[in-house]
Structure 1
Amino acid sequence: MTFGVEEVDFDGVGRVCYGNSTTNDSTSQEYQNNVKLLLSVLVSESSSLHPPMTFISTSVGRVAERAYGSYLCRGDLSVRQCHNCLVNLTNFMSDLKTDNSDCIGFGSFLWCMVHYSNSSKFSAYQEGLVFSYNSIGKNVSNYEQYNETLSNTMQGLVTEASYGNWTKANFATRSVEVTGSHEKIFALVQCAADLSPLNCSKCLGELYSYIPDCCNGSQGGILVHANCLMKYNNQSFFGLASHSFMPSYIHVIFLLLFTMHFTIM
């Protein structure tokens, strides 16, 4: 996958753009206007929905120039943290110009992600959309034990997020002690809530396959796909805000109704 525009800063906000060029499209300006409106709608909904949701997918505009998009907030965040992250991220994305039809932005420490496109199929899982990864910390001294513990932990988290944790929006965390030492690994994975269990597993599995390229031997790593994310470190970085989640069947029904409302506008 070749990305057209890439601005990545894991300490702040970042954006990667790809897809078709809209430069010669007569509806380009209208589409970009709809993108800005879409970003404002996502921010607004992040603070107004009750109960709060970590994921929203919607669209804005007429069919020919429609902008489709979603936000994903990390499952351990409070409503305020999610909203503030989206405010900063969407402001950043709105200020940057691009001729690409698709863009994905992410906030500080992967607190939130925003994805927009001119296609209604933007949220479908596609192999090869791993658009950023980065190692964290120094190299570990107990390489074999660390990697073995990390591998077992990630395999368990992928299964839990994909199939075994329906009350937490495809989200799972775990802290484990490294075999043969007192060092710990803190790990977090999350998929967009509209991914099927199988595609969530595929998405996270694809991210995991990139660990040797980005983070082999390091204390931690951050890996981002268009539809899922993965982070691990030897220091704690996630909370326990499980009260923020709705049961999955309520989440899905609300998501469908919300999407239908904006689609017919």
Structure 2
Amino acid sequence: MFSSSVSERSVLVSILAVVAIQLFFIRSVTSVNETNAYLYHKCLEKDGKYKSKSLYEKNLNSLISNTSVKDYIYGVYGHRPDTVYMVIQCRGDSYGSKCDTCLSTAYSEVNIFIINLCPMNKGAIVWFDRCLLRISPTTFINEMDLKNKFYMYNKKKVRDPALFNTKIKTFLTKLTMEATRRGLERSPAQEYYKPGDIKVDGKMKLYGMVQCTRLIWNSDCKKCLDTIIGELPNCCDGKEGGRVVSGSCNFRYEIYPFLDIQR
């Protein structure tokens, strides 16, 4: 279903629609993403609101509390007009208990966001380090979401930004091609995830990953990744680490390992 991550001393930049730019720092993790840190959220105002103790709220609670996920799930609960749609997708290296833990975290955090930050919203997206969760009163299968997105980047800059930027773009484009290599006919039920690493500037090694949600088609996955990779100059110009995360796809790169390679 989804994906996400965290970088040392990262800066988050909100670019949701025309919202003003916001910056804040997320404290570094000392090892390979041992925590499932909250990254960002977006309450989807266009989806409307529900009332306390309503059937929609009951359906939402039933859907999440009765769900177990190992890496991906798309769930539907209830009948119109109180149907609840939910998708949870974990980062490509987070399976089994790691993904199931993300579900528990996401459930508690979504309740906090809906109650405190956007009370009773029927739709919301929450991004965590290891997964993404989205709820909505309407289906969003086959809908590429590039509207809801944000940037994160490391404050440190490399010595040769222009050369580094070129290598990053080439690297992430290669990962995108590998993640979507099966052609336009590929089913949206497949997993669009590809990690990798390359050497840059002698001893320096660059680690990266790309991933799309399984809700979109292969051709849209490539289009989504190509679009956010094209935002590298705005996001992460010459930065040692960075990523762009949207509702349908994301990439991340760092000069240190950040994925859990044990499956």
TM-score strictly above 0.5: yes
In the alignment, which residue of structure 2 is the partner of 1:249? Answer: none
1:126 corresponds to which of 144, 165, 169? 144
Distance 1:75 1:189 in 2: 9
2:43 paired residue number? 17
- After superposition, give the CA deviation of every residue in 1:33-69 in whole Å (9 maximum; x if it has no partner): 322322223xx321xxxxx4x2211111112111101
CA shift, 1:150, in A, is 0.5
Question: What corresponds to 2:134 in structure 1?
Answer: 115
Can you list the C-alpha shifts for 1:134-167, whole angstroms capped at 9, x where unaligned? 1124111121221121111111111111224989
Name whichever structure is richer in helix by fraction.
Answer: 1
Unaligned 5+ segments in structure 1 are 47-51, 244-265
Distance 1:136 1:34, change over 3 A: farther
- Work out whether residues 189 and 204 of structure 1, in 8 Å CA contact, stay in contact via their aligned partners in 2: yes
Partner secondary structure for residue 124 of structure 2: strand
Letter in 2 for 1:124: N
1:102 and 2:123 are equivalent in the alignment: yes
Pick one of 57, 61, 79 that aligns with 2:74: 57
1:153 matched to 2:171? The reply is: yes
Q: Residue 171 of structure 1 aligns with which residue?
A: 193
Shift of 1:70: 0.5
Confirm or deny that 1:140 pairs with 2:162: no
Residue equivalent to 1:45: 68
Q: Say whether residues 1:82 and 2:108 are aligned partners.
A: no
- The DSSP-based 3-state class of the residue aligned with 1:95 is helix
Highest RCO, 1 vs 2 (Cα 8 Å, sep ≥ 6): 2
Secondary structure in structure 1 of the residue aligned to 2:258: coil
Tell whether the 8 Å contact from 2:176 to 2:210 is kept in structure 1 after alignment: yes
Hey, what's the Cα distance between the residues in 2 that align with 1:84 and 1:137? 30
Summarize deviations over 1:183-229 as a string: whole Å, max 9, x none.
11110111112321101111112221222212111111132111122
Contact 1:22 1:28 in 2 (8 A): no
Computed over aligned residues only, the root mean square deviation of the Cα atoms, in angstroms, reads 2.9
The answer to whether the Cα contact below 8 Å between 1:68 and 1:116 also exists between their aligned partners in 2 is: yes
Q: Which amino acid aligns with 1:189?
A: V
Q: Distance in 2 between matches of 1:127 and 1:78?
A: 24
Distance 1:64 1:87 in 2: 27
When structure 1 is superposed on structure 2, of 78-87 and 163-172 the one drifting more is 163-172
Which of 57, 81, 84 is residue 32 of structure 1 equivalent to?
A: 57
Counterpart code for 2:214 = A
Given candidates 223, 240, 244, the residue that maps to 2:261 is: 240
Aligned residues: 227
2:86 aligned with 1:69? yes
Gap runs ≥5 in structure 2: 1-16, 28-36
